[in-house]
Amino acid sequence: MAIDFPASPTIGQTFTSGGMVYVFNGTGWTVKGGTTLDWVLKAGDTMSGDLTISKTKPNVILDRPVGSPAEIFSKTGGLTRWRINLANGLAESGGNVGSGFQIDRYDDAGNIIEAALKIDRATGYVTIGQTTIANAYGNLIIQAGAGTGSPLIQGMKGGLVRWELFLGDSTAETGSDAGSNFSIRSDTDAGVAKATPLTISRATGATALSSTVASTSPTTGALTVAGGLGVAGNIHSSAIGLGTAIGTYPGVGNTTVGTEIGTGYFTVSIASGNAPIFSNRNVDGGLMDCRRSGVSTGNISTTATACSFNTSSDANLKEDLKSFDAGNIIDDTEVYDFKWKATGERAYGVLGQQAKEVYATPVTYDEKEDRHYVDYSKYVPVLLQELKAVRARLAVLEGRTPDKPPAKKR
């Protein structure tokens, strides 16, 4: 039976014939049934012009058999560039599993590259490329992809990677929480992996700081601390050393503490409680060099049998040499047998305030702590001078020349 459709219809125009309602879709007439629009298109039909969706029925419904995708394609020159799967082909198995949302990207030849964006219908997890981001209980969860050394966050400049943060690096998992460690990696100007200055072990929490810098300069190295370093517990180090700086260095010639990887460098261990700070060297020589404005003022050195604490006393550093009378210092400095308030232990010594009035050189005052400190080693020259005077007086009493020792008794 021939149907006499209206001539020159408009898109969406309806026509009733034989109890059937037809709708013009732009290229031909299709059947309209029920209260929703079910476009019945012949295979190969192509719509030209823009698709207008009615304001009164603004829904686009893509219904498809279970297990098959509901797809929208974007093409250029007949080749696919993007595909939107409003319900991809993942099978439904209950619990809202399957039929996820997916956007696929294609290359210039129309071949699929990857699923650029996926949303899991059951969990709401969003996967961008190979990285899954989930919002669970207010937390940001980044789930590792299939490759090793993922996931990561990259900081880029000009399209080139500068920093990479690995929330689980490529270190293999071997049980007991080992592997998948946290690390930060730096990259070169060309975006090529350079070094991993920070690694934190997932199993032990041990933090490793490293550097590619190989320098004896005290101003460069793996760790620089500005404003102080607070440490809870113990510090055990076997690699604080050559080219590795701790703290800030306003001048030159500052002491570098480290492993014995070069002359003058050594291992330092600092333990908690009353355990000592000790150094370990296998050769004689200086352990620590103290400097002021680049000039040495003393050092600590060691031999196989002793440790020496040396202060600068070179003749070339001194002038205006004079003799002095040490007797008044000895006579006027009060020395006591006393007890320490903190421990109750008895000891011999001077009072900083009183000693300062007699001989100020050995006494240091800390305004912040409001406390006096005494360097007893500075009394040695005074004692030597007084001892010489006593020996000279003794020589006179013995009837001999002061600069000659007494004759040995036979």
Contact 32, 23 (CB under 8 A): yes
| 87-102 pLDDT, tens digit each | 887 888 899 998 999 9
**pLDDT value, residue 315:** 93
- In this predicted structure, the answer to whether residue 214 has a pLDDT above a threshold of 90 is no
DSSP output for 137-149: TTEEEEE--SSTT
Q: What is the mean pLDDT of residues 281-299?
A: 75
**pLDDT value, residue 358:** 96
List, in order, residues 6 or more apart from 195 with CB less than 8 Å away: 185, 186, 210, 211, 212
- In this predicted structure, the answer to whether residue 86 has a pLDDT above a threshold of 80 is yes
Residue 395, classed as helix, strand or coil, is helix
DSSP designation for 386: H
**CA dist 214 → 69, 136, 236, 256, 288 (Å):** 58, 45, 22, 14, 21
Alpha-carbon distance 197 to 207, whole Å? 10
Please give the backbone phi and psi of residue 17, each rounded to the nearest 5 degrees, phi first. -155, 130
| 36-71 pLDDT, tens digit each | 444 444 455 566 666 776 767 667 777 777 777 888
Q: What is the mean pLDDT of residues 121-128?
A: 86
**pLDDT value, residue 262:** 45
**pLDDT value, residue 320:** 96
**pLDDT value, residue 139:** 72
Q: Which residues of 161-177 are buried (b: 16+ CB within 10 A; e: fewer)?
A: beebebbbbebeeeeee
Q: Give the residue from 271, 273, 194 showing the smallest Cα distance to 237.
A: 271
Share of the chain above pLDDT 90, in %: 34
Considering the chain, what is the average pLDDT of its residues?
77
Please give the backbone phi and psi of residue 316, each rounded to the nearest 5 degrees, phi first. -70, -10
- In this predicted structure, the answer to whether residue 373 has a pLDDT above a threshold of 50 is yes
- In this predicted structure, the answer to whether residue 239 has a pLDDT above a threshold of 50 is no
Q: What is the mean pLDDT of residues 385-405?
A: 84
Dig out the tokens for 80 from the structure.
């696919």
**pLDDT value, residue 408:** 58
| 307-326 pLDDT, tens digit each | 888 888 999 999 999 999 99
Q: Give the residue from 29, 4, 1, 2 showing the smallest Cα distance to 12.
A: 29
**pLDDT value, residue 286:** 67
Of the pLDDT bands very low, low, confident and very high (cuts 50, 70, 90), residue 353 is very high
Residue 86, classed as helix, strand or coil, is strand
